[in-house]
Structure 1
C-alpha cells in the first residue's frame, strides 16, 4: 500500500481561486458519489459503508481545510471564500443526511446482511443511522425543509459570531508611568507613540501580562473591561438568534430543548444531568474556594481596605502578589526560564519521548504565513530511510491581524490508513520572546489535541478518525498532558535561563504549590462559564446581560463588572454550545487517567505506550468510557479529581 501524499497548499496570491475551485470540484464529486450510492448501492453492507465513508472523508476534509484557513489566512478575501465554503459544506451535509433514499440504503439492510459485519463496521452503521435520524430524515417534507433552513442559518451565525469575536481587537492606552511593574521585554516590545502613550491590545500576549504585573489598578481595570467588551453589542443579537434556532431544531427532531439534543450523543447522555454536574462541582469546590478567597481578599484588603470581594480586574495581579509573598514565586523570574524557542523544541522532545515519535522539519512546502513551521511525524522506532510518516503537523503560534485570537487545534485533513494522512494545525498567540508559564501549559494542552489527531488518524474509517470521541471527553487527553509541563525533571530538559541554567526543582515545587492556590475558586469560575453555556440555551433569556449578572452572582467568585458583556466574546457558545461543562467533565477523567502514571517516572514506556495505543490511537472506535476503562482496567471515577481539588 503506497503512502498518501500530504495536502499541497497554494501560494498566497492564488489561494482564493484555489479554495473556490477545490470547493466546486469536491462538492461536485461528493454529489456524484451520493448519486451512485442512491441509485446503484453495492450489494454488500461493508461496501455500502465504504462508499459512504469515502464521501464523508472528502466532505470532512474540505470542511476542515475551510475552517482552518477562515481563521488563519492573512488575506481577508481568502478567509471570506473559506467561510462561504463552510456554509456550502454544511448545506450539503444537511442535504445528504436528510435524504430519505440514502437513508433507506442503510436502514434497509437486513439483520442477516449486517450480521457479518465486524464490530467496528457495525459501530459505523449504528452511528451513520444515528446521524440520519438526528438530522430529521424521518420527518415530513415541510419539517426537513425548515431544518435545512435552520442549519444553514446556524452555520452563518456561527461564522459571524466567530468573525466578530476574532476581528474585534480593542485598544487601551497608558502612559509609561502607569505601566510601572511591567517586564522589561514587554516594555521594549511596546514603544511609546508620538502622543506619549503605549497601546495595549486585547490580544493575550499584550493583555495578560498587564493584568498580572501592572501596579496601576485603573490600567488593569481598563484592559480587563476592553477584553470583556469584545463583540459587544453586535453579538448580542447574533447569540439570541442562535439560541432560538437551536431550540427550534431540537424541537423539530423530537427533543425538549437544545441541551437535551446535544447531550444525547455525549458521555453525560441527558440534558438535565448538566446542571446536576455543575452543582456537584460547585458543592465540591465550596470549601476550597472560601479558603483561597480569604487569602486573596486578605492581601487585597491591604491595598483596598474594606473591600468585600476581589474584582475580576484585579485577580491576576493579587494572585501574583500571593505567589510572591506566600509561595516565593515571582512570575517575572519564572518567565526568564521559558524562552519561546526553547519551549518549542522542548515540547517536541518531551512528546516525542513520551509517545515514541520523531518530528522531522519540512521546509519545502507552502504555508499560509511565514510564521508557520511544519513537521512530519514518524514512529521513533522505525528507520528514517524506510519509515512512512504517520502524519503532518503545522505550528502557527504567534499573533497577527485577522488571525484566530485564542489557542486551538484545527483539522487540516482527517487521517485514514492508506487513503489520507492526518494533518493538524496548532493555532496559538504566544510571545516570540519569554513566555508566561501558564502559556507553556496551554501549549502542552493544545499539542495534546494535535497528537490525538495524528495518532487517532491511523484507522480504516474516516468517521472514527482523530479526536472523534464524545465531545465531553476530547479535552481529557490534553488536560492530562498539561501535567508534563509541571514536572521539574521534564521542565529542566528545556526550561533554562539566559545563561543556560535549568529551572530549579525547588522553584517548580513552589510554582506547583502556588498554582494549587486558587483552584477552588477557579473551579467555581469554570462552573459560571458552564452555567452560561447551559442556561442561555435552556432559557433563551431576552436580556442576556441581566441573566449573566444572575449567574455570576450564583456561581462566580468575582462580582460582575458593571456595564460589561462577557458572553459577546465567549467563543465556546459557538462550538461547545450548551456543553461548556465538558472542560470540567474532562478534567475529572484526566485526573483519573494521570493516576495510572508513575509520578516519579512520567516517561515509563509501558504506561505511556498503553495509553497511546488504547486511548489516543483508537480515535472514536469505542465509546470514551470504554477507552478509559481499557487503559485503567476499571471504569473512571470522581475520586482522583476530588482528592486533587481539596488537597
Structure 2
C-alpha cells in the first residue's frame, strides 16, 4: 500500500482546517475509547492495537497543533492550535486517569506478546500510575486541573519568548567590524540609525564582530532580557504546579518524577552528574579562561572577570590570533543555499536515502521547502524545512513532528524549524543545522514501526540529543565540508583552515561545558528548591558553575525556553554528548561514510525509535555498554 502524506491547507483555509483536524481527530479517539469500554477486545494484542489507534489520533492532533502554533503566519491559526493542544492534553489526562480503562489493561495477560508489545503494555500501565489512576476522585480532579494549567502556562511562556523580539538602534559608524553582507542587509533608517534585533542572525554577528563594546553590551542585555518580566510569575507557577503534581502521585519532587522515565532514573542523580561534568571541565576551563582574560586585559587592564557581553567577541579575537581563524573569512564559504544542499547530499550518502523536492506541496510560508525522503526509490517520509526568521515564529531551532510514521498506516513527516541567515552563515550555525537535521532524520528513519508509542524520536529524553550531536561531526570534517563549502569564486574551503577551525573550536570547550552545567543546575534546582527569587538563585548558580560574570539587571532564565520543554532535565544535552562521543568512536575518521558502520548505526540506533531502551540500542551498535571514556578524552585534549 502506498501511503500518502498529509495535505496541508492554504493560508485562507488554515483556521477552519485546523479546527476540523482537531475536532475530527479527538472525536475519532473518543469513539474508539467508548468502543473499548463497552466491548473490550478479546486478546491483549487486540487491546493494545486499539489503544495504539487512540494514541495515533491524539498524536496526530497534537503534532499538527504544536507545529502550526509555532510557525503559522496567521495569529488566529496559532491561537486555535494552542487551544487544540490544551484539548488533547485534557483528553489524554482523562484517559490515563480512567479507572475502568486501567482495570482492563491491568487484567490483560502479557503471555504470548512479543518483546515490543510487552514493552508497550508495561509502559501503558506505568502511564496510568503516573497519572494518579489509583487515587481518590478529588485528587484525580486536581491532577487534571494541574495538567491543563501546565499546558496553558507552558504555551504562554513559549509565546512570550517567541513574540518578544527586542531591538537596539545605533548609528552605522558604531557597527564597525560587522561583515559587509550583514551591513548591506540592514540599511540605515530615515532617522539615520540601524536596527539590530535579538533574532539570532542579527544578535550573534553583532556580539562576535562589533568593535564598539557598548553596542555589544546593549545587544547582549537585550537578548538576555527577552521574556522579562512577564515570564517570571509564569515560571513560579509552573514550578509550583509541577511540584504539586509530582508529590500527589508519590514522588519526592518534580525532578524525581521526571527522571523516573529517563536513562538517569533518579532525580538526585542529576546534580551528581552535573558535578561530575563540572569537575572534569575544571582544568580545561581554567586553562582557556586565562587565555581569554589575557587577551581581554590588553584592552581592559587589570580585569579579573569577563561577562558574556564581551566573551563572544574576545573568543573570536583569541581564535584569530592564536589559531589564525577569522570567522568573517570562514563565513564566506558558507552560503546558506549551498549549505542546505550540502547537508542533503551528505546525509543522503551517509544514510542511504535520497531527497526529492516536492514543488506542489502546500506550505505555511513561501520560504518553506518540502522534500520526499526515499530509500531504493520508495518514499519513506516527507520533510519540510522552515529555516529563516520571521515575526510570530518559534525563535530557536527544533524538529517538530507533523505525522508519526507507522508501517502500512501513515507516512512519517517532520519539520525543521530554525532561524538562520538567508545569506552567509557562521560555521556555528552550520553545525546547528546538521544537529537539528539529525532529529529530523531520526524521526523519518524510525517511522516504519508498528506502534505509535515508539515511532520517531521516542527514546528516553536524555538520549534523543545523542544522534544529532554525533551528526555534528560531519560538519567539522574537511573532506566533507569541501564538497559544499565554497566561496563566491567556487574555491573550496582549505583543509588547513578547517584544521585550524577545529583547534579554535576546542578553545573554550572547558568553560562551555561549565556554562552548560550552569544551565543544567538552574533547570534542576529551580524545580527542587523553587526559590522565591529566581534572579538571586540564578546568580548563585552562575557563580558556582559558570566562568562568566553575571550582568547586572538581566534575567536570562525568562527566555530559557528549555525550562518549558526539558523542565528539570537540561542535563540531558551533556548526558547525550557523553553517549554521542562514544557512538562516534565506532566510525573511522578517515572514512566517515563507510557503509557497513553507517548502515549498522542507522538500523540499530535510529530505525528502532523507542522500541527498546536507549542503552540497549547503543550497546547493540557498539558491541558493549557506552562509557564516559571518549567524552573525557575529548574534553581533556
**TM-score normalised by the shorter chain: which range applies?**
over 0.9
Deviations 1:189-216 (A, max 9, x none): 0001111100000000000000000000
> Paired residue for 2:387, among 397, 402, 413?
397
Q: 1:449 deviation in Å?
A: 0.1
Q: CA deviation at 1:60?
A: 0.6
Q: Match of 2:497?
A: 507
| 2:107 counterpart residue number | 108
In 2, distance between residues paired with 1:116 and 1:229? Answer: 57
Distance 1:532 1:121 in 2: 38
User: Which secondary structure does the structure 1 equivalent of 2:577 belong to?
Assistant: helix
SS of 1:391's partner is strand
User: CA–CA distance in 1 between the matches of 2:430 and 2:207?
Assistant: 18
Give the 3-state SS of the residue equivalent to 1:390 in structure 2: strand
1:304 matched to 2:300? The reply is yes
Match of 1:455 in 2: 445
**How big is the shift at 1:270?**
0.1
- In the alignment, what sits opposite 1:160? 156
Residue matched to 1:531: 521
2:72 is matched with 73
Looking at structure 2, the residues matched to 254 and 171 of structure 1 have their Cα atoms a distance apart, in angstroms, of 46
Residue in 1 that maps onto 2:485: 495
Contact 2:25 2:60 in 1 (8 A): no
How far apart, in 2, do the equivalents of 1:458 and 1:117 lie? 19
Matched position secondary structure for 1:371: coil
Q: Write out aligned runs for 1:516-555 (5 A).
A: 516-555=506-545
| Offset of residue 38 of structure 1 | 1.2
2:87 is aligned to 88
1:270 alignment partner, one of 261, 266, 269:
266
Whether the 8 Å contact between 2:445 and 2:606 is mirrored in structure 1 is yes
1:147 and 2:143 aligned: yes
Structure 1 gap segments, 5+ residues each: none
State the aligned residue count. 637
Distance 1:405 1:146 in 2: 33
Q: Distance in 1 between matches of 2:402 and 2:436?
A: 15
Query: In the aligned structure 1, how far is the partner of 2:340 from the partner of 2:618?
Result: 29
Structure 2 residue 575 is matched with structure 1 residue 585: yes
| Structure 2 residue 327 is the aligned partner of structure 1 residue 331 | yes
Post-superposition Cα deviations, 1:378-432, rounded to whole Å, max 9, x if no partner, equal: 11xx2x4xx3x11000000000000001100000011101001110000000111
Looking at structure 2, the residues matched to 24 and 129 of structure 1 have their Cα atoms a distance apart, in angstroms, of 27
State the Cα distance separating 1:24 from its structure 2 match. Answer: 1.2
What is the match of residue 38 of structure 1? 37
Counterpart position of 2:114: 118
SS at match of 1:139: coil
What is the rounded CA distance, in whole Å, between the counterparts of 1:39 and 1:264 in structure 2? 33
Contact 2:171 2:193 in 1 (8 A): yes
d(CA) in 2 for partners of 1:601, 1:503: 19
Where 1:200 maps in the other structure, the secondary structure is: strand
Task: Name 1:230's counterpart in structure 2.
Answer: 226
The Cα offsets for residues 472-511 of structure 1, whole Å up to 9 and x where unpaired, read as 0000000000000000000000000011111000000000
2:464 to 471, 474, 478: 474
Distance (whole Å) between structure 2 residues aligned to residue 475 and residue 138 of structure 1: 34
Cα distance in 1 for residues equivalent to 2:562 and 2:247 = 22
Q: CA deviation at 1:105?
A: 1.2
The answer on 1:188 being equivalent to 2:184 is yes
Aligned equivalent of 1:242: 238
Deviation for aligned residue 1:22: 1.4
Q: Deviations over 1:421-462 (max 9, x none)?
A: 110000000111100000000000000000000001111111
Deviations along 1:236-274, one digit per CA (max 9) or x if unpaired, are 000000000000000000000000000000000000000
Q: Using structure 2 for the length normalisation, give the TM-score.
A: 1.00
Deviations 1:207-235 (A, max 9, x none): 00000000000000000000000000000
Q: Give the match for residue 430 of structure 1.
A: 420
Q: In 1, are the aligned partners of 2:14 and 2:77 still within 8 Å (CA)?
A: yes
Q: For residues 51 and 426 of structure 1, what CA distance do their matches in structure 2 show?
A: 31
Offset of residue 555 of structure 1: 0.6
SS where residue 432 of structure 1 aligns? coil
